Structure 1
Amino acid sequence: MIVVVGSLNMDLVTQVKKTPKVGETTLGNGLDKIPGGKGANQAAAMGKLNGKVAMIGRVGEDEFGKILKDTLNKDDINTEYIMISKSPTGVAMIMVNEDGDNSIVVIPGANFDLSKKDIDEAKALIKTANILVAQLETPLEVVEYALKKAKKFEKYTILNPAPAQKLSKEIIEYVDLLTPNESELELLSGVEIKSEEDLLRAGKVMIQQGVKELVVTLGDKGALYMNEKDHKYFKGYKVKAVDTTAAGDSVNGALAVALDEGRTIDEAIIFAMKVGALTVMEKGAQSSLPTLEKVEKYFK
């Protein structure tokens, strides 16, 4: 089983011709309300891939919070430890341009009410899991506490360091698999990435800092895997991107499901590349996540 510690947001999505510059006004086409939040997206990705998943998080006592929990329940995700806060449910405002690229503003709301006490109350759940997955849309000290608790119980831990921010040595110490994209790796390592050599150098910086395994997602170019001894590239799949929202979340969800099923890291990354490719072919966050049946049928 996989436990996800993370955020739940309602995504308010509009389509734009091009992303506006500072001071520029542009017209949006439509407004969709789509369940999102990195934590919930990754949990939903796992559920749709037939993973056994439970989520720890917080929503507000409002309509958005109810919708987010109900949506996860429909994907057979255990929502017992999604607590209710006095703060409103988190919201993300998303603009998607004609190239399928997005710009996002997140208002954390109840996500920032998640506490160490909440993690303690879910201790029995974490004990029964094989893997704990976290991101950085909840308080950093709570993320660190959850990872530490999981390692105390000898669980495998995955950290998706998004949105990008510097990590302490203490957090890195409790992470088995770190899954940044290229820009996140750049910030974490302090290495400006302009070439393949830069990418490898940045990865080595993270390994030297104590990261045990690293999967760097590279969009349609695939992914780079690295550990202390070796590195390896995995190809991406060329598809027409409609919306890249939740692409990284789908990859993280797929990695966790495959590893929970006992697949090798190579098999897990190949599977995750397929899932990520299908995700960008659809609009929205959780609405774009493919089922296991769809993945198997498309790549048959």
Structure 2
Amino acid sequence: MKKVIILGSTNVDTILNVQRFPQPGETMAMNSMAVAGGGKGANQAIAAVRSGAETTFISKVGHEGAANFMLDTFKEDGMNIDHVTTSETAGTGQAYIMVDENGQNSILIYGGANQDITNEDIQAAKGSIKAADRIVAQFEVPIPSVIEAFKIARENDVQTILNPAPAIKNIPDDLLSVTDMIVPNETESEIITGIKVTDEASMEASAKEFFKMGVKAVIITVGDRGSFYATSEQSGFVNAFKVKAADTTAAGDTFIGALSSKLELDYSNLEEAMTYANKASSLAVQIKGAQNSIPYAKDILAD
């Protein structure tokens, strides 16, 4: 069983189901609305724990009822939430997600308490980070806190995986220097490297740019096509499972959380772990919503 730390955001998602996305200035009716748990960090932590990883979550929430709703969800899945703390100044993060009839989404984020995570919070979790196999983080929390956590990890031979989302063009060198693996989607990869991802050759070129930045391994996810991988020793492509998507929300987070639960630290089972993660994502996109759609290991391993 892998010991996984997830450092990241906790959001409450308001999901707006629409026939199509509105044009600028247009007013239109929704098909339906729902409220559910979300946030890239929380999604990835739930995906990891549901795939059998011993998962500790580092996050921050507000004082309101939304926070209790999220904490109850984490407890139900058996996640360690000793380092999910409460902000004294901000509410729990919020996300507003529009999903069209083809399952594509557009998302607006209010950071809230997620932006209150500090280096002091990371230091409080130092013992847990030191005891882990790997730590995963994204950019929905302050980058200085991610750097602090990854430095602790690197000093203690704990593998670091960065999901650079939402993407920023210039990732600080201090962070890249302590990142073992980076996992962007094709859009995020293009923003960071400047190389448009269109085929396997452009993915290879993108990976070389990431290697120049100092990371040791790269996975680029490309939606319903699958995912590309590259290390100093190997590269290749793992095809996605073909399904009809109802909602792509949390597909990438499901992939990363599931991957973190199965990947060996020496990448010896990289293709196998990616196939498992691709299947997890294929199950998630067939159900509307974020955390409620994230599958359990028994479902992913079923024929």
- TM-score over 0.5 for the pair: yes
User: 1:203-258 CA deviation, whole Å, 9 max, x = no partner?
Assistant: 21111221200011111111100123432111111000000000000000111000
Superposition map of 1:215-254 within 5 A: 215-254=219-258
Deviations 1:134-181 (A, max 9, x none): 011001111111111111111011111111113122211111111000
140-149 or 75-84, which moves further after superposition? Answer: 140-149
Q: CA RMSD in A?
A: 1.4
Alignment of 1:153-232 (within 5 A): 153-166=156-169, 167-232=171-236
Q: 1:278 and 2:270 equivalent? A: no
1:268 aligns with 2:273: yes
Residue in 2 that maps onto 1:104: 107
Structure 1: which 5+ residue stretches go unaligned?
none
Which residue of structure 2 lines up, in the alignment, with residue 45 of structure 1? 47
Superposition deviation, residue 261 in structure 1: 8.9
Say which SS state the counterpart of residue 28 (structure 1) adopts. coil
Could you tell me which residue of structure 2 aligns to residue 22 of structure 1?
24
- C-alpha separation between the residues in 2 aligned to 1:79 and 1:102? 29
1:50-91 Cα shifts (integer Å, max 9, x gaps): 211010110000111111111011010001110011210000
Whole-Å Cα distance in 2 between the matches of residues 170 and 98 of structure 1?
Answer: 42
Q: For the residues of structure 2 that align with 1:127 and 1:21, how far apart are their CA atoms?
A: 49
| Contact 1:2–1:260 (Cα < 8 Å) also in 2 | no
Asked if the contact 2:16/2:98 (under 8 Å) is kept, the reply is yes
Q: Deviations over 1:230-289 (max 9, x none)?
A: 321111110000000000000001110002698621221111111111110111110100
Verify the 8 A CA contact 2:217 2:230 in the aligned structure 1: yes
SS in 1 for 2:263: helix
Instruction: Quote the Cα distance in structure 2 between the aligned partners of 1:211 and 1:23.
Output: 43
- 2:9 aligned counterpart, secondary structure: coil
8 Å contact 2:164–2:188 — kept in the other structure?
yes
Which SS does the other structure have where 1:10 is aligned? strand
1:56 aligns with 2:58: yes
Q: 1:203 to 1:26 in 2, by over 3 A?
A: farther
Q: Which residue matches 1:7?
A: 9
Match of 2:133 in 1: 130
Q: In structure 1, what is the Cα distance between the partners aligned to 2:195 and 2:122?
A: 34
Aligned partner of 1:33 in structure 2 is 35
Deviation at 1:23, TM superposition (A): 2.2
Normalising by structure 2, we get a TM-score of: 0.95
Task: Tell me how far apart the structure 2 counterparts of residues 94 and 115 of structure 1 sit (CA, whole Å).
Answer: 27
Measured after TM superposition, the shift of residue 29 of structure 1 is: 2.1
**Distance (Å, rounded) in 1 between the aligned partners of 2:131 and 2:156:** 9
| Corresponding residue for residue 88 of structure 1 | 91
Contact residue 130 and residue 152 of structure 2 kept, 8 A: no
Aligned amino acid, residue 109 of structure 2: V
8 Å CA contact 1:192–1:198 kept in 2: the answer is yes
- What letter matches 1:267 in structure 2? E
Paired residues of 2:159 and 2:265 also in contact (CA < 8 A) = no
Q: Distance in 1 between matches of 2:52 and 2:33?
A: 30
Query: Greater CA deviation, 88-97 or 41-50?
Result: 41-50
**Quick check: 230-239 or 178-187, which moved more?**
230-239
Q: Give how far 1:26 is off.
A: 2.3
How many matched pairs?
A: 298
C-alpha separation in 2, matches of 1:126 and 1:134: 12
Q: Does the 8 Å CA contact 2:247/2:287 hold for their aligned counterparts?
A: yes
Which whole-Å deviations, capped at 9, do the CAs of 1:3-23 have from their partners, x for residues lacking one? 111000000001000012222
Is 2:8–2:138's contact at 8 Å kept on the other side of the alignment? yes
2:140 touches 2:165 (CA, 8 Å); kept in 1? yes
SS of 1:54 mapped into structure 2: strand
